[in-house]
Amino acid sequence: MEGLTIGRHSVPFPVIQGGMGVRISAARLAGNVALNGGIGLIAAAGLALGSEHFDGKNFFAADNQALIDELRKAYEIAPDGVIGVNCMVAVKDFDGVVRAACEGGAKLIVSGAGLPMTLPGLTADYPDVALVPIVSSIKAAELITRKWHKSYKRFPDAIVVEDPDTAGGHLGEKPELIGIGQYDQYATVRGVKNYLKEKWQLEVPVIAAGGIWDRADLQYALAQGADGVQMGTRFVVTEECDADDAFKQAYLDCTKDDIGLMMSPAGLPGRALIGNIEQVRQHDLDLNVRCPSGCLKKCAYQTAQERFCIVRALERSRLGDMETGLVFCGSNAWKADRITTVKEIFEELFPLAERAAV
């Protein structure tokens, strides 16, 4: 099994650890994934909330400084590792977050929750930073590639194809089209690869994301044309995951029926543990919580107090509040049956014979 090269950065194993906010994938998880031969991603969203830099008023400045801190801590774990940042297009300070990621030494930026049309311009002073958009359709890949080429003479260094039927967190598809059996992830993977090759003579990695749990899933993805996989949910139930133990226990305790779709105030559907969604909403109603940070470009809670403050709800779950905290997860979270380590996951995905060959 071959490794993975994205832009100027190579790792022994074709695995990207998905970005999970708020602080579910921070320095400890990303650093240990990189240490074990994969690509570790720090989720940039909401880092200010757990940061010493936040004084209650300076959310964006604190968010960016906290990201730089997390990158430094991750590189202390894996000095030679490939560590990147997941930057959501939906956040209001997208430009600042991307620049902070570059300043902090991120080797790649993975970007979704919208189309990252301006990403090459924001990273122009950092040509070694690989740029990786997340899409769920061939059309989105076409739009991004054409825009980047026309405006910046730049192409994606890789593309992540996320399956809205299985992935966790915010999803790039209309709610009514999720889970109805129409989406074919690997047809999309192959279609994106064909488009890049035929239109632009480009051969860059196309990464499958969503629903990847074990070695069989990995092997299937590669056999279907993916060059690697992105895994988020599986890495939550590790000792190194940055979430509270109660968050990890929620994965261990959940069943298939506990996992479903909810509407984010960002205007996107999301996959989560949905049993406590009413309590998440009621928390903000009871406390008459107003928008505390203005973190999203589009937010129904900020404008009309619809739904709830998502960044605070995610922060509560990260800290162990399973009653009023929002727990994002992929469709396979119910498969979690024990707390393991990042090293053990890599040993399962890549047996000794393969590890000796890289």
Q: What is the pLDDT of residues 248-305, one digit of tens each?
A: 999 999 999 999 999 998 888 999 999 999 999 998 888 887 777 888 788 777 877 7
Helices (H) and strands (E) in the chain, counts: 14, 13
What is the reported pLDDT for 356? 56
| This prediction's pTM | 0.96
Q: What pLDDT is stored for residue 243 in this prediction? A: 96
Query: Where do we find the tokens 């990995």?
Result: 218
Domain assignment present for residue 327? The answer is no
Task: Please report the pLDDT score of residue 28 as a whole number.
Answer: 98
| The pLDDT of residue 172 | 85
Judgement on whether residues 29 and 125 belong to the same structural domain of the protein: yes
Q: Across the chain, what does the average pLDDT equal?
A: 94
| Overall average pLDDT of the 325-348 stretch | 97
Domain carrying residue 209: 4-243+338-357
Q: How far apart are CA 326 and CA 167, in angstroms?
A: 16
Q: From residue 341, how far is each of 29, 208, 252, 346 by CA, in Å? A: 10, 23, 15, 9
> Exposed, middle or buried by CB within 10 Å (0-12, 13-18, 19+), for 26?
buried
Q: pLDDT tens digits for 156-170?
A: 999 999 999 999 999
pLDDT in tens, 129-185: 999 999 999 999 999 999 999 999 999 999 999 999 999 999 988 889 898 889 999
Rg, Å, the chain Cα set: 19
Tell me how far apart the 2 most distant CA atoms of the chain are, in Å: 58
- Whether 107 contacts 99, CB under 8 Å: no
Q: State the CATH number of the domain containing residue 53.
A: 3.20.20.70
Is the pLDDT confidence value at 34 over 70? Answer: yes
324 within domain boundaries: no
Q: Cα–Cα distance between 308 and 316 in angstroms, integer?
A: 12
Regarding whether 222 and 203 lie in a shared domain, the answer is yes
CB distance 257 to 44 below 8 Å? no
Cα–Cα distance measured from residue 280 to residue 325, given in angstroms and rounded to the nearest whole number: 6
Judgement on whether residues 277 and 157 belong to the same structural domain of the protein: no
